[in-house]
Structure 1
Amino acid sequence: MTNNLPEDPVIFLVDDQKITNFINKKLIEKSKIKVKIMDFINPINALKDFSKFEPSHILLDLNMPQLDGWQFLEEMKKNEFYSKVIIVTSSDSPIDRERAKEYDLVIDYKTKPLSEEVMRSIFE
């Protein structure tokens, strides 16, 4: 018997720091947001899994060693991956904030650490 109920949306957490992904995952769970959460410390793996899971949202760090957030956004554009991207970074640089506006997929720019209230506001 198949279940015709819609599945919860998928959210990707893409940050090379495990602890940041862990905290953000707990904040989402605590906020009672109905989603499936997948976290990646390697952004290349997130790109590989994109087509399989088609995340509705991506919380994306900018400063990562394998592929930085800007390169990740370029790969999304090149591969025509469409998700709402929230940049979550420790950088409060006005230059980074302006650069983020160049990407249609980026819907918000938040600085770490996030709070439960901020997390709820992202998904409302």
Structure 2
Amino acid sequence: MTLSSNITPNSTHGHPSIPATPARVVVVDDHPLFRRGVVQLLNDSEHFSVAADLEHGGDLLATLEQHQPHLVLLDLNMPEISGLDLLRQIRQQELDIKVVVITASEHDSDLFEALSSGANGYLMKDTAPDDMLAQLDGVLSGEVALNNHSVTLLAQAFRQPGLSDHSASHPLAESEPSLPGGIDLTARERQTLTLIAQGLNNKLIARELGISDGTVKVYVKSLLRKLNLHSRLELAAWVHQHPDAVSLSL
């Protein structure tokens, strides 16, 4: 399944234009057999061409500078440097590259950590070849690639207990929850963040809070800036990791 409807993927640093096929890809995975299989799958496709494949990520940034790929596929667990650390390096460099984590890990903490770090997708290694190619095509078009298992984990996180019954007329809690150091959110931004974590789009958030769609967009942009995130999906993941920060009565 590819999420696209109400979720905007990594966009702070701009989207590269959809590349003329084949799109250049760099693959990083410490399992030789799996890595070779992915390389062959991509090279056999008309849409992708593997510019480099690496056993570990020590030289990844230099490789990215040399080949200027459109897409990087990262294994999550590698001995020298993890895929998450490599993902953070790419985002810290503000490189305009799509990054998809391909892993065997089904732990929800790994999923949310990857998404909150700026991944454009999180796919399992047992994904069917045709489905993987379709997912990666979607990522190049600006979508977020997720398997059904990952979608289920997100849906479970969105359905936070006690947050389903709310009304814009209810006052805020008198004592607002504390936020991580240096982050200052207004009451409306906290409300908006809570509703984003429940999977509501801007129109539904506006209806819940009794404000305009345009005002909701302003709050979303402010949240992305203040939390240093890139997408609604990352905002939802952030709430999952900091549930006490938005436990408001709406």
Which TM-score applies when normalising by structure 2? 0.44
Question: Which one has the bigger helix percentage?
Answer: 2
Name the stretch that deviates more: 27-36 or 108-117.
27-36
| One-letter amino acid of the counterpart of residue 96, structure 1 | D
- Which aligned pairs between 1:14-93 and structure 2 lie closer than 5 A? 14-93=28-107
With over 3 angstroms needed to count, the CA separation of the structure-2 counterparts of 1:34 and 1:63, relative to structure 1, is: closer
SS at match of 1:60: strand
Displacement of 1:84 after TM fit? Answer: 0.6
How much has 1:7 moved relative to structure 2? 8.0
Question: What is the RMSD of the two structures over their aligned residues, measured on CA atoms?
Answer: 1.9
Give per-residue Cα distances to partners, 1:26-51, cap 9 Å, x unaligned: 22133332424410002112222111
Q: Which has the larger radius of gyration?
A: 2
Aligned to 1:107: 120
Structure 1 residue 110 displacement after superposition: 0.6
More strand by percentage:
1
Contact 1:21 1:39 in 2 (8 A): yes
Contact 2:51–2:69 (CA under 8 A) maintained in structure 1: no
Q: What's the CA shift string for 1:59-83, capped at 9, x where partnerless?
A: 1011001110111012112222221
Q: Percent identity?
A: 23
Please give the alpha-carbon distance, in whole angstroms, between the structure 2 residues aligned to 1:62 and 1:53.
22
Counterparts in 2 of 1:55 and 1:49: CA distance versus 1, 3 Å: same
Cα distance between partner residues in 2 of 1:30 and 1:92: 28
> Is the contact made by 1:28 and 1:119 (CA closer than 8 Å) also made in structure 2?
no
Alignment partner, residue 3 of structure 1: none
Aligned in 2, Cα 1:114/1:27: closer, same or farther, shift over 3 Å?
Answer: farther
The SS at the match of 1:44 is: coil
Aligned to 2:212: none
Amino acid at match of 1:19: L
Distance 2:130 2:84 in 1: 26
* Alpha-carbon distance in structure 2 between the residues aligned to 1:71 and 1:65: 12
C-alpha separation between the residues in 1 aligned to 2:123 and 2:29? 13
Counterpart AA for 1:116: P
Matched to 1:115, the amino acid is: A
Match of 1:119 in 2: 132
Q: Alignment partner of 2:120: what SS?
A: strand
How many Å separate the matches in 2 of 1:7 and 1:30? 13
| Total equivalences in the alignment | 118
Classify 1:41/1:60 alpha carbon distance in 2 versus 1 (closer, same or farther; 3 Å). Answer: same
Which whole-Å CA distance do the structure 2 matches of 1:115 and 1:28 have between them?
13
TM-score of the superposed pair, with normalisation by structure 1: 0.83
Runs of 5+ consecutive residues of structure 1 not aligned to the other structure: 1-5
